[in-house]
């Protein structure tokens, strides 16, 4: 043991004489040594970094020690004896200035079998050979570079993308962050509507107050009515004189599922003098799957509410429309799973990427995140392979490839929709005991609209 300590002391002494940033990571991914060069490039005192785990993550803020340790994190292959060099972006703690550097990782083993990793940071050559780093580590480096770019341009590096549809979303986020307008987000489930709403909120003047989400699809009518009464009609905790909830943003998810009478009450409040005072200290945000104009045309959204929330709309594209982001997103989810975990996975195999790229992703980002999470948990090596993919994904791939039977007779669309709608109306009337008012509320349409449908299907005389 004394001999090992003596060797370690001699190694430290020699590396302290080296001008280039050098560091040593042990088998548990703990940083056990860093020289003055590391302190110079990062702005962090070495004493504050020693003993911290170097995990394969990216995107930490410059004022967090993880912004340094993730740059010093060896790919998992290095612990298997492979030498690698990987591009990383270092952000200085005080100045915020970033520099691209090449980090060389050298596995070291002493006679007792204790594995260490020596790291040396060098300038990036003008033309770097790509064969020295695997595709997986290149994706990690690209993700880190993109997050750095987004942090500089938008300060919203939690959203990973480089595709034109999302660039438009970024511009709208920037506009919404610096305004107090009501924001409406449209997009399929799982596209990140609530996440973007939170990004806008926490980057705005209201960001010091809580973000309160209310899901109009999942909450019952009584729960929604109670929430709006407590939050709206009591001045959001201030008019009542109590220290109750005083949010900075209220997010009504799937707002088209808000009953019509509550839609009218909300629109009336927002346009009142009391509502104007409320909007000076809290922002209303909403979302829906379908576009607002379609909801209005189908009478699922009252005109007053439509005009209230339609001024600033952000459309979230589905994952299948931004496949160029797929690898960056997948890598970001892998690294999120690495954070705080004993299992450190470098990335995803090329076979898995190919399957991901031909899959339709009906659940969008939420589905991709869950598939990666389960695969990460099943992974017994440094790379996620097809054997680690969850059963649900594999069955989804099989169903997608089979598709519908080519010999199946297709019912005309108008006939099918009319039949489904008629059955749905009858079910609503049955559930409400024949009450047209309650059935209309349950269906999310106005009573006149329900009456027209009953006449169209010859049910006007049958309904009570």
Q: Give the distance, in angstroms, between the CA of residue 226 and the centroid of all CA atoms in the same chain.
A: 30
Cα 83 from Cα 79, distance rounded (Å): 9
Residue 74: predicted pLDDT = 94
pLDDT at 227 over 90: no
Its CATH architecture, for the domain 164-316, is: 3-Layer(aba) Sandwich (3.40)
Q: In terms of pLDDT, which residue wins out, 86 or 114?
A: 86
- The pLDDT, as a whole number, for residue 66 is 92
**How far, CA to CA in Å, does 382 sit from each of 7, 12, 186, 347?**
30, 29, 38, 7
Average the pLDDT over 345-367 and give the result: 94
Sort strands 211-215 and 249-253 into parallel, antiparallel or unpaired: parallel
CA angle (150, 155, 159) in 5-degree steps: 55
pLDDT given for residue 407 in this prediction: 56
Q: pLDDT at residue 129 above 60? A: no
**Whether the predicted pLDDT of 418 surpasses 80:** no
pLDDT digits (tens, 9 = 90+) for 240-261: 444 445 788 999 999 999 999 8
Residue-wise pLDDT tens digits, 142-183: 777 666 654 554 456 788 888 988 999 999 999 999 998 999
**Token couple for 337:** 């799973």
Residue 232 bridge partners (DSSP): none
CATH of 320-402, one of 1.10.8.60, 2.60.40.1190, 3.40.50.300, 3.40.50.1820: 1.10.8.60
The CATH fold of domain 413-456 = Arc Repressor Mutant, subunit A (1.10.10)
pLDDT value of residue 440: 83
Q: What's the distance, Cα to Cα, between the start and end of the chain in Å?
A: 89
Where along the chain do its domains lie?
A: 2-153, 164-316, 320-402, 413-456
**Which pLDDT does position 130 carry in this prediction?**
46
The CATH architecture that domain 2-153 belongs to is 2-Layer Sandwich (3.30)
| pLDDT interval class at 131 (50, 70, 90) | very low
Please list the residues that pair with 119 across neighbouring strands. Answer: 23, 105
| pLDDT tens readout for residues 181-215 | 999 999 999 999 999 999 998 888 888 788 889 99
Distance (Å) of CA 14 to CA 19, 72, 218, 435, 460: 11, 19, 63, 86, 92
Q: Could you count the other beta carbons within 10 Å of the beta carbon of residue 406?
A: 5
Beta carbons of 25 and 15 less than 8 angstroms apart? no
- Overall residue count recorded for the chain in this entry: 464
pTM, entire model: 0.72
Q: What are the CA-CA distances from residue 74 to residues 45, 80, 140, 379, 426 (Å)?
A: 21, 11, 12, 18, 63
């Amino acid at each position: 043991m004394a001999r090992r300590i003596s060797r370690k002391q001699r190694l430290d002494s020699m590396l302290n004489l080296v001008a280039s940033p050098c560091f040593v990571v042990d088998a548990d991914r703990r940083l056990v040594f860093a020289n003055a060069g590391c302190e110079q490039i990062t702005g962090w005192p070495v004493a504050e970094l020693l003993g911290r785990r170097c995990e394969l993550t990216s995107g930490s803020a410059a004022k967090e020690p993880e912004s340094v340790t993730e740059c010093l994190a060896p790919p998992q292959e290095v612990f298997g004896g492979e030498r690698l060099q990987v591009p990383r972006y270092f952000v200085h703690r005080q100045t915020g200035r970033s520099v691209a550097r090449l980090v060389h990782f050298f596995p070291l083993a002493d006679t007792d079998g204790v594995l260490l990793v020596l790291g040396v940071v060098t300038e990036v050559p003008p033309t770097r050979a790509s064969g020295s780093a695997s595709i997986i580590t290149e994706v990690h480096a690209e993700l880190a570079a993109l997050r750095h770019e987004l942090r500089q341009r938008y300060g919203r590096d939690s959203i990973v993308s480089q595709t034109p549809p999302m660039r438009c979303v970024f511009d709208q986020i920037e506009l919404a962050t610096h305004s107090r307008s009501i924001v409406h987000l449209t997009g399929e489930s799982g596209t990140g509507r609530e996440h973007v709403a939170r990004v806008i909120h926490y980057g705005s003047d209201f960001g010091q107050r809580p973000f309160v989400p209310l899901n109009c699809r999942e909450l019952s009518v009584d729960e929604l009515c109670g929430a709006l009464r407590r939050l709206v009609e009591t001045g959001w905790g201030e008019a009542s004189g109590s220290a109750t909830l005083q949010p900075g943003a209220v997010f009504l998810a799937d707002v088209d599922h808000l009953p019509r009478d509550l839609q009218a009450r909300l629109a009336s409040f927002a346009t009142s003098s009391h509502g104007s005072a409320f909007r000076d200290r809290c922002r209303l945000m909403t979302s829906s799957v379908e576009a607002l104009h379609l909801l209005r045309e189908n009478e699922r959204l009252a005109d007053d509410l439509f005009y209230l929330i339609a001024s600033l709309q952000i459309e979230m594209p589905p994952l299948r429309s931004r496949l160029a982001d797929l690898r960056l997103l997948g890598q970001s989810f892998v690294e999120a799973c690495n954070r705080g975990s004993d299992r450190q996975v470098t990335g995803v195999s090329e076979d898995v990427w190919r399957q991901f790229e031909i899959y339709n992703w009906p659940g969008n980002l939420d589905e991709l995140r869950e598939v990666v999470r389960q695969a990460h948990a099943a992974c017994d090596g440094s790379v996620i392979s097809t054997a680690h993919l969850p059963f649900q994904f594999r069955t989804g791939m099989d169903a997608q490839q089979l598709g519908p039977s080519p010999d199946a007779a297709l019912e005309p669309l108008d006939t099918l929709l009319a039949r489904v709608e008629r059955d749905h109306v009858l079910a609503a009337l049955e559930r409400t005991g024949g009450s047209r008012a309650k059935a209309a509320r349950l269906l999310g349409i106005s009573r006149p609209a329900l009456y027209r449908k009953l006449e169209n299907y010859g049910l006007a005389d049958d309904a009570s």
